[in-house]
Structure 1
């Protein structure tokens, strides 16, 4: 008889970023396990089907509510907890898995996923009310969780250190890469890239929510150091949600935009983003902190070399396929970009190494580890 697994899918109300991709891909693979039956909570109701699309206008309405409703975070939490508990009365679950930092109260074994500790290292990048809620719930959640899934050994070590847990409570389940991210012929990319004025193989790419820990400033300064003909031929393309964009980005970014040396594409649908990644000459990802670094894996699986920082979990993902730089060395970053642009043999070697490295990761493996954790917890 199959076991019922309750999954909190409320994150999918918003446009999909890293955690949303994780949940969608994981659920797709877990649904293939004959002994597991998934049921999804969307923040208000339950379903046996994962939401395919985000809620129209969710981000706008959510921001308005947070701005004008006092105590919006705790109030929403109380209402969602009531709906969560009410739905489980008619269809009880054997186990509850939450991919967020604040799992609901649940009368049974609970598994949670901790993707990173951004709330500890970079609390200023999120609204104060949200940080307060995280601090209020996460510390107790990690104690009551039967197991905690993490994306990397780096995060496992951090969770042990910051929350005083034993290592055996944590299980590393590395992320995978969607089949959308793959090498694609230039001819197949001409049409989807044309609206952005991009030419396959002739732009440098940054992917991720625009926020300080992504270290976009370094990329802008490094790109500015390139000779003007190279900047013109290989503009910097930035794809991702607006996030928290401080004034310190404004001047170099505006200069690059006005000179035609940069393009800010904003958030792009999954299928189109895969084509944008595949068409890049390289991905530049000098992040200060990552729990995994999914764009790095997606670029490697697309045959795109990666320039990245040797920080946090990133070396676990890129291994020897990465071209590493210091997070504050714009000169070294510019030199590495130049090397990969001018040395075709080096570019090809990094491309081949990335494709090989990416084969170590899959959503099938992530789901298999996760399903084994479910089974162990339910037996105990």
Structure 2
């Protein structure tokens, strides 16, 4: 087979969720499949995280905007190379393309009501682009992959897609997420001492940053330890707005905000943290949940969308809209050492069920299936 994989953004320096997923799929396929040829279409960038090999060929396409790159340059390049299948990995795909396509549709949040408080131009433009493109491509895709049973059922019900055309393939996590001794004390690049709370959030309302900070304020009011909070990828002005609106000045001096944390530093952060807060309102999968669990870090997560499915029945699950529930669980972890130990053990055992190798094996099976149906 000659398989095309759209991976437009994997060479950018600051990668995010979908970038990491396709990057790990490509690296695993490169290791395990020595029969088929892969053509990986990327936009030029500083981080050359995948190298050419005998069966994996990197095709750099320079185009100024995402829509032009995907709608014009990608199908043109794929046709010129003569790929048998084109796998588009980031929720959208070319509208005009005669090559058999597979689409990874991580979620359909773009169909859900948009929070008017979201002022991010980047996020709002992405939301609009998906609303315009996805309905026009679904009928052209031979298979639609998604990443959890929750999201699969959601897509089937909302978009009226037959189950036969759907494929559910879980994500994995990198094997460097494990219990480790930070001999170099890399955590000190971000925090002065171990034993802090860690939260990965941003300005997207679904990340529930505001309510999580209210919960943290209530935790500080009740805790004897009063652990500091590390928050990644957030700016000070956004934080100040939350503090002012909710009158939670007690959090101001306890929060550390280093900006973007590279993925290779995250294992040291998780291992040095007392607990990880993953209190989103909605996730289609939730790789950070697995990463923290694999490191043996107790996680407080939400009882909504895919998070109970990924975290498992014994994970700490709270109503993400109830700040008191979040605070209660932080206090319980702090005061109940046996409960804390059980959560560490449960997380590490649960994480063993997921791997990028399993993801790639299922993906390769799907490529073969679609190829045989041409």
Scaled to the shorter chain, the TM-score interval is 0.7 to 0.9
| Residue deviations 1:338-375 (CA, integer Å, cap 9, x gap) | 11011111101010011000011111111111111110
In the other structure, the counterpart of 1:7 is 5
In the other structure, the counterpart of 2:88 is 98
Which residues in structure 2 correspond to 1:148-163 (within 5 Å)? Answer: 148-163=144-159
Determine if contact 2:200/2:231 at 8 Å carries over to the other structure: yes
In the other structure, the counterpart of 1:355 is 348
Distance 1:243 1:199, change over 3 A: closer
Counting matched residue pairs gives 352
| Residue deviations 1:281-300 (CA, integer Å, cap 9, x gap) | 11111111100011101100
Distance 1:278 1:130, change over 3 A: same
Which residues in structure 2 correspond to 1:229-308 (within 5 Å)? Answer: 230=223, 233-240=226-233, 245=238, 249-251=242-244, 255=249, 258-259=252-253, 261-308=254-301
Q: What SS class does the counterpart of residue 289 from structure 1 fall into?
A: coil
Determine if contact 1:44/1:84 at 8 Å carries over to the other structure: no
Is residue 325 from structure 1 mapped to residue 318 from structure 2 by the alignment?
A: yes
Q: What SS class does the counterpart of residue 2 from structure 2 fall into?
A: strand
Determine if contact 1:149/1:170 at 8 Å carries over to the other structure: yes
Q: What SS class does the counterpart of residue 321 from structure 1 fall into?
A: coil
| Residue deviations 1:254-291 (CA, integer Å, cap 9, x gap) | 835642x1111221111112211221111111111100
Distance 1:183 1:160, change over 3 A: same
In the other structure, the counterpart of 1:55 is none
Which residues in structure 2 correspond to 1:1-380 (within 5 Å)? Answer: 3-14=1-12, 15-31=14-30, 32-43=32-43, 50=50, 76-78=66-68, 80-104=70-94, 105-121=96-112, 123-124=114-115, 125=118, 127=121, 128-185=124-181, 187-188=182-183, 191-200=185-194, 202-227=195-220, 230=223, 233-240=226-233, 245=238, 249-251=242-244, 255=249, 258-259=252-253, 261-380=254-373
Larger helix percent: 1
Q: Separation in 2 of the partners of 1:112 and 1:243?
A: 37
Could you tell me which runs of 5 or more consecutive residues in structure 1 were left unpaired when the two chains were aligned: 53-61, 66-72
Distance 1:244 1:144, change over 3 A: farther
Q: Separation in 2 of the partners of 1:317 and 1:244?
A: 33
Could you tell me which runs of 5 or more consecutive residues in structure 2 were left unpaired when the two chains were aligned: 53-62
Q: Separation in 1 of the partners of 2:224 and 2:8?
A: 41
Distance 1:44 1:330, change over 3 A: closer
